[in-house]
Structure 1
Amino acid sequence: MSKNSTNERVTAGMLVIGDEILSGRTKDQNIGTVADFCADLNIDLCEVRVIADEIPEIVDAVNALRTKFTYLFTTGGIGPTHDDITADGIAAAFGVPLNVDDRAIKMMQDRFTDYPMNEGRLRMARIPEGGELIPNTVSGAPGIKMDNVYVMAGVPKIMQGMFEAIAPTLKTGIEVFSASCDSQVGESSLSEPLAALQISYPTVKIGSYPQMGSDHYMTQIVLRSSDKSSLDEATQKVREIIAAATQSKLKI
């Protein structure tokens, strides 16, 4: 176990900020990346919201999610343009001033020599009072940590670098085990017995995922649990359910 491991459940919410995501002009890639990071750290990503570049919306969402989960990760809106207002929203959510921070300026100038601080770059150096800086090895402009809120860039490569920087500092939760079972029968043939099985194994999450577009129809059943013994028992039950459904299909 890592030095930050805990025997308690660790949860996270994610806030994707940007009109360009909602309009469809930009296709989000960060949700999947954050989900992968969280899975590797045994952090349960429980909720994702996508909101517009509006300060009241940012304030409401940040204050709702940061009190609901162990961590809140935000992406987008910390660039150099007028509509990059995430820092403003974070400062408002915490009720603190937002000022140009000398640490952020140094971080950017250390990344690039001869880096004049024009108006756009100074916008990226605005940090809510009390905020810690998240390193940005790509462009230098830092992310922000406020309490349990981690404010990161919307550009996927930059966001990934920022998450790699914060990952060693995060608490990791209880290890979750998983198993999967494939079947050649449709979901409807499995739904009733799987529902009963879920009631019998409440500590095991059982998901059904149909796979289409191939020559053969397939339903994949995925099971996840921190209780390895219960997971193994439930997985065997799923195999039996699939076998019974397959046999019934062959008789038709």
Structure 2
Amino acid sequence: MKTTLISVFALALLLSFSCKTPPPVAPQNVDSAAVLAAVELRMSILGFETSRTPDVLYFVELKRLDGGVPANFRIPRLTEANLPTSIIKSTYSTNTGVYWLNASPGAYALVGASYSETVSGQQTSTPVGDKGTLTVKVKGGTKVYATFFSLDFANEHAFVVAPGKLTTLGKFNAKVELSERSNSDPLQEHLANMMLPGYYDKSALSNTFGNTVHAYVPVEMNAQTDSTSRESMQNLAKEDFLESPWAGYAD
């Protein structure tokens, strides 16, 4: 019996290693870098609090630094008059967190996270009055649930990417709710409109049932960015990068 238990444990351990997905791309050049962060989102669904782990992160470039980081460099700040014109998506996720591989040297801000779920199409009809009926159709397919972070968060956690290294940002936990004009700042509204043009001009019902992308904003945000948390993630990244062209980036 003891031998059988050991064999089962060894097989499970072997399968866990063999199923690990390697990084999908190799470094493009000697200056290529990587960024790692972990995000957990909490939300209320039908009165019950649940959580989701995003597999995509969104970044914006604040300043490109192809020639290296200048002495006394100060990271530019995002402002209402200085909002991004493009969004950068991460490339790889593991149990450790989400990676942006082949990041170019520069200053950046983490501005959002998303996860996807596949849902089936549904149609419900509800009697209204004596003769009327309200029919609601929900399209099936893949739904993307994107949370956009605030200007204050983006500026507070802006970071510099150095060539040939992994930059670990830490872990972030957010309680989120559906984005509306009343609870969104200029950056959050701008990002939602970039991904969903006219999002705030539609009704809440239309955004809930008609869109393939749904926008959320945090109402609470906790960050674990201390050196101990980041070092722990860095060590796990070494395992994710093991036997890949990225091995050594987390050293």
Does TM-score exceed 0.5, indicating one fold? no
**RCO greater where, 1 or 2, for CA within 8 Å and sep 6 or more?**
2
Using the size of structure 2 for normalisation, the TM-score is 0.26
Greater gyration radius: 1
